[in-house]
Amino acid sequence: MSSLVHPASGPEGQGPSGSVPPVILTSDQTEHAATIRQFVEGDTPWDRRLMKGSQWVNPILVKETRQALKSKQFSFTLILLTIVVLAWSILAIVSMIPSIYYASNGAPLLIGYAMILIVPALIIIPQASFRSMASELEDGTFETLSLSLLSPRHIILGKLSVAALQLMIYVSVIAPCIALTYLLRGVTLDVIAMSLLILISCSLTLSTLAISIASFSKNRVQQVFFSILVLGAQVIASIAVGGTLSATVAFGTVPWEGWISFGVFLLAAILYCWLFLRCGGCSIGVVSENRSTPIRVPLLTIGLVISMLGGLLAIRNGDRNTMSAMIAVVLNLMFVHWGVAGSIMMGEQGIIPARARRSLPNSLLARLFLTWLNPGAGPGYLFILLSFAGSAITLVLSCQLLIPITNTDVGLHTLAYAITLVGYLALYLGIVRLICLATLRRLQTGRLVTALTICLVLVIAAVVLTCSINLAANNYQRLTYDWYCFPNLFWTLAELFPDNISQTWNSAEFLSSIIALLFCASVVAFINIVLTAKDVVILRIETPKRVEMERQRLRGIRTQDDEELDEGDVLN
């Protein structure tokens, strides 16, 4: 007996080669085909439903779940967790007898469960995620995976969903015990909810960071280094989460400030996870792809969120005397965000891949204003500078407009602080870019880390140099701020920080220092802008017709050629 099996067809499954002749199966093979059908479709109706649903799930999740169910690590962790939870439950209940019958004893029990859950949630799962991604790169399986239709985003999200599934299983093991703590009284539902939310969000954040960091490691040395880094972060996070959970449970209830703080943490975690996932995706993506724009979008969003949230917080909580100090803190946060991102960005190669050039705007005017998100250190410099300057000055002015500060001097002080920060960003990033342009022309890998290192060295050198000169000028007796100390950003910002309204920030030394800084920053920025002009004159290239048609076909849009082909079929 033989049966016909047709090869894959249809837009999703079709081999681009077109038609492949059907395979004729022998009776022996038909038996095997039945086994394959059983595997693909499932035995029972429940299996069939699951298998049908699973085809819409990320393939990585399906693969890794199958692997996890057969792996010793997962089984061992699950069994160990169950045993420890049971042991803790029995031990705690026995030790609480007889007070357990009349006193509220839920809190200590819940703290114990939370501590037990911290180990798999914050240590085992993120480490497993790190290893999973790192071993793909190390073993060479990633190459075969990358040749499939799975995008880097799919791969990373698949790994993350595996971490989420494992966490769900571990939480479900401990869930009945947590319900028991509620029955024993002493803990409210909001405390339980907050504890679980903190654990789950921290676990997923750590897993995201672990997967993203693992995708940066291209060799064994980097893997070991990053692995230690991730482990360090896990230990610190475990201690911090442990402390927070104990305090929350001991407090007995969650105040509204607690929910707001958690909300802010969650927002920050989501935004930075988004950024890290994008970085990880770009790191393992196709080299010729535009890998800068997808990273710049979350960077800009985070910058804007910090500025808006900070502004709201300053207006909501700050009185007129402390508002300027709060704004300065927010400005510092923004400065660190843009400074770190910018110094890494300065190492980008100023080459716009042909593929990215297909989507460039056509007119010169549009190119002038819409190329900040394009790859390259030049557009990156403008992007960082304009984003930071725009959001910082808008923050200062809008805060002053909403709550006018009676003392105009304080308002000017805050504005001067913001302008100084912009000056530092323009100066240091500009110098880093010029150094990179001069020295890193031939360097293909490690450019971003090199640029970050150059920036750090520059900042440290400026601190050491200015302090040495100042000490020498004062006979090695004391440090007194003078105008030539402007390259030392820490010292200048500390002196200029608007925490005291009676501060004499507009003295001759400060003003000349700011003027010197702005002058140098303007010169460096001007040189950089002139050098960036070449990125604006790059012309758009046309997408080949065949590529355009293929992309339309993949999107399910019928082209004229398809219709002509169909007409041909009908005629034939």
Partner 1 sequence: MVDVSVANYHQSTDPMIEMRRVHRFFGKTKAVNDISFEVYRGQVFGFIGPNGAGKTTSMRILSTLELPSYGDAIVDGFSVINDPDLVRRRLGFMPDGFSMYPNMNCVEYLDFFARAYGLLGKDRMSALRRTLSFTGLDKIASKPITGLSKGMRQRLCLGRAMIHSPAVLILDEPANGLDPRARIELRQMIQQLAVEGTTILVSSHILTELAEMCDQVGIVERGQLLATGSVAEIQRRLQGSTWVQLVAIRQGEQLEAWLTVKPKVSQIARTENKLSFQFDGGSEEQAELLKAIVNADFLISEFAARQETLEDVFMKITTGAVQ
Residues that bind partner 1 (CB under 8 A): 5-10, 12-18, 20-21, 23, 25, 29, 32-33, 35-37, 39-41, 52, 55, 59, 62-63, 66-68, 70-71, 139-141, 143-150, 286-289, 353-355, 358, 539-547, 550-551
Closer to partner 1 by CB, 12 or 257: give it.
12
Shortest separation between residue 404's beta carbon and partner 1, angstroms:
55
Amino acid at 69: L
Name the helix (H) or strand (E) containing 4.
strand 3-5
Q: Coil, helix or strand for 92?
A: helix
CA separation, residue 364 to residues 296, 369, 536 (Å)? 22, 9, 8
Residue 3 φ/ψ, nearest 5 degrees: -135, 160
* 5: DSSP letter: E
Closer to partner 1 by CB, 39 or 369: give it.
39
- What string of H, E and C letters represents the secondary structure of 165-214? HHHHHHHHHHHHHHHHHHHCCCCCHHHHHHHHHHHHHHHHHHHHHHHHHH
Shortest separation between residue 275's beta carbon and partner 1, angstroms:
24
Cβ neighbours of residue 165 closer than 8 Å, sequence gap 6 or more:
61, 65
Residue at token pair 């059908």? 37
Closer to partner 1 by CB, 359 or 506: give it.
359
Shortest separation between residue 7's beta carbon and partner 1, angstroms:
5
Please answer whether residues 122 and 206 qualify as being in contact, where contact means their C-beta atoms are separated by less than 8 angstroms.
Answer: yes
Shortest separation between residue 68's beta carbon and partner 1, angstroms:
8
Q: Which residue, among 300, 435, 290, 417, has the nearest Cα to 354 in the 3D structure?
A: 290
Q: What is the Cα–Cα distance from 150 to 153, expressed in whole angstroms? A: 8
Shortest separation between residue 143's beta carbon and partner 1, angstroms:
6
CA separation, residue 285 to residues 37, 151, 300, 457 (Å)? 35, 8, 21, 30
* 479: DSSP letter: -
Name the helix (H) or strand (E) containing 36.
helix 27-41
Shortest separation between residue 173's beta carbon and partner 1, angstroms:
21
Shortest separation between residue 53's beta carbon and partner 1, angstroms:
12
Closer to partner 1 by CB, 129 or 205: give it.
129
Closer to partner 1 by CB, 64 or 535: give it.
64
Q: How far apart are the first and last CA of the chain?
A: 34
Residue 4 φ/ψ, nearest 5 degrees: -95, 135
Shortest separation between residue 172's beta carbon and partner 1, angstroms:
22
Closer to partner 1 by CB, 59 or 258: give it.
59
Closer to partner 1 by CB, 150 or 197: give it.
150
Shortest separation between residue 56's beta carbon and partner 1, angstroms:
8
Please answer whether residues 417 and 331 qualify as being in contact, where contact means their C-beta atoms are separated by less than 8 angstroms.
Answer: yes
Closer to partner 1 by CB, 18 or 98: give it.
18
Closer to partner 1 by CB, 53 or 98: give it.
53
